[in-house]
Amino acid sequence: MTKLDSKSALTAGKMKMPIVGLGTWQSTPEEIEIAVNAAIDAGYRHIDTAHVYANESAIGAALKKIFDSGKITREELFIVTKLPFSGNRAEDVEPFIKKSLEELQLDYVDLYLIHFPAGLVNKGFDNLFPTDEKGQLLMDKSTNILELWKGMEAQVDAGRTKSIGISNFNQSQTKRILDNCRIPPANIQVELHVYLQQKELVSFCKKNGVTVCAYAPIGSPGHKNLLEKQGFSTEGLKVISPLEDPVIKEIAKKYNKQPSQVLLRYLIEYGVAVIPKSINPERIKQNFDEWTTYCQYCDPQTKELITCRAGCYVCFPQISTSSLTKMTKLDSKSALTTGKMKMPIVGLGTWQSTPEEIEIAVNAAIDAGYRHIDTAYVYANESAIGAALKKIFDSGKITREELFIVTKLPGIGNRAEDVELFIKKSLEGLQLDYVDLYLIHCPAGLVNKGFDTLHPTDEKGQLIMDKSTNILEVWKAMEAQVDAGRTKSIGISNFNQSQTKRILDNCRIPPANIQVELHVYLQQKELVSFCKQNGVTVCAYAPIGSPGHKDFLEKQGLSAEGLKVISPLEDPVIKGIAKKYNKQPSQVLLRYLIEYGVAVIPKSINPERIKQNFDIFDFELTKEEFEKISGLDRGEDGRMFGGRKIIGYFNLLETHPEFPFPK
């Protein structure tokens, strides 16, 4: 486990939400300045408000003083506000977010939420809860949350908010947004505390890359008083107090903490952010108090409470993947998710497969249960894959919607103006209207000499590089392909961590996936950890090594002299584990990687091997076996396709400014 600290954050795409924030519901404008200052001094960097709290202008005034003092900068804070119920129409989103920004004295917020799925009639900015002559709320029953979501997406495009999300939505409503969005919700905020743990909703959101934030995380001890102050009847109001629960009090006593701190600690270990509300500086500090000792899960009194942690890494990447896989059963339908993208964890790799071999391989894969096929423009087999898929679709065996198809922009297309041309060419070859994922194949660009010149060379046989490659401009053109509907998601391949970070720091649509060489001898632990923390899924090419690499190069007339040949298939640790489970070494190698939390795309044209590579869901590695295989990592010495002391295609690009591998 990685210890939680005051800088821990939940991530989804570009959004990084500090796990503890200051809730401001029930706080009057008069109380706000004290609360905000106390929170900033205590270390909070996340403040939650809403138009209907009627305190945005007080928060804005408090923040302006803080920024002007130089104590912290705007960029250090994560500010959340919400669209009111009376703004639940697509055309009203922009006026309301502009009003919130004006009150907050900000150019943007970090997260803008739809406060509630049900809409009210809009009677103006100040009429928060419009009523008729009988005092009944005036509902707008024509609310269309999908049209409303488009209005939210437009605010990301306009730069008024970095991320968008939802609040008080149920699972069905959340799914409707996910199934129909262009920009997926980064967060859902709901009532959540130890007495209402919302396990099914939390699990669903985590599986779909939506982070969760808990309001009323310690219950709502001030709720009754607030209603009475506002003249509402509290007759029949349910008052529950987790703060008084004997289990909570006992754990608090053990750690010399307040019950509120135990309640908050449980929720952040549960994998959700918390926004406890207080105006008391001492309590504000207590709620943020750094408590880095993990609760003792073996304690009998905690077993009742701490029960739901499966799937945590999707939105709380500090949880180790090996622990995750012991809690969430992997099966043939398991997928890596981020936003709307759901990538089946085992796919068919088609690099090195000739057009003649493709039909056999694709049919064998579909029959074995594969629903993920990976290709690339430079593999020169998209037309063969397209022809094979057309026959399969025409036969009725499966539909297009059941498949996850990946292809890649070639090095010769690494200019913004060429992206559309090449994706259209790939779609034409594949006979598809869209792909599920489109990747930049390599950050280093080559000169474009036409569609058929995949690797342009000069008179000396040297690759003709385009050293003016601008990966940020290329990425903007990739984003445009999502907007145009030619691809559902976009990503990168063969990028290093620094290049990946540049994309994340400057994108509108974050990369959904990175595909890199990854196997037990090159586990890329630092890159994988970075990607998971930033909501980028990882796919491993050459997941069992690349036993056919040498033969392939020789067939192409390229020299294989000096080529590094390493074979994890022959590793005694792998062979020993394979024998124990009556499996092939390749199956153990693949099983380890999916338990490690990455997708795999083993290449084969042999129907029996294709079937074997998918037959990895009927056993799981013990903790000891997982750790033993983890120890096989050789770091850069395990790399086969680029980097130090390696002869191969990628190293012909070594002088390119965007060469991604260690030299």
Q: What distance in Å separates the CA atoms of residue 103 and residue 579, rounded to the nearest whole number?
A: 67
Q: What distance in Å separates the CA atoms of residue 307 and residue 304, rounded to the nearest whole number?
A: 7
* pLDDT tens digits, one per residue of 406-445: 999 999 999 999 999 999 999 999 999 999 999 999 998 8
Q: What residue has token string 């309590």?
A: 283
pLDDT (average), residues 507-525: 94
pLDDT band of residue 402 (cuts 50, 70, 90) is very high
Query: 3-class SS at 454?
Result: coil
- Confidence check: pLDDT of 284 > 80: no
Degrees to nearest 5, angle at CA 537 with 491 and 215: 115
* pLDDT tens digits, one per residue of 520-535: 999 999 999 899 888 8
Catalogue the active-site residues.
379
Q: What distance in Å separates the CA atoms of residue 662 and residue 51, rounded to the nearest whole number?
A: 50
Q: Which residues of 508-541 are buried (b: 16+ CB within 10 A; e: fewer)?
A: ebbbbbbbbbbbbbbbbeebbbbbbbbbbbbbbb
Overall fold of domain 12-319: TIM Barrel (3.20.20)
Structure token digits, residue 322: 């090996």
User: Which of 324 and 369 is assigned the larger pLDDT?
Assistant: 369
Q: Which residues contact 612 (CB under 8 A, 6 or more apart)?
A: 584, 586, 587
Cβ-based neighbour number of residue 243 at 10 Å: 17
- Confidence check: pLDDT of 332 > 80: no
Q: What distance in Å separates the CA atoms of residue 255 and residue 430, rounded to the nearest whole number?
A: 61
Span(s) in the chain for CATH 3.20.20.100:
12-319, 334-653
Q: Which residues of 272-288 are buried (b: 16+ CB within 10 A; e: fewer)?
A: bbbbbbbbeeebbbbbb
- CATH superfamily, region 334-653: NADP-dependent oxidoreductase domain (3.20.20.100)
Residue 14 CA to its chain's centroid (Å) = 9
pLDDT (average), residues 261-286: 83
Percent of the chain with pLDDT over 90: 55
User: Which of 658 and 222 is assigned the larger pLDDT?
Assistant: 658
User: 653: closest CA among 439, 450, 494, 522?
Assistant: 494
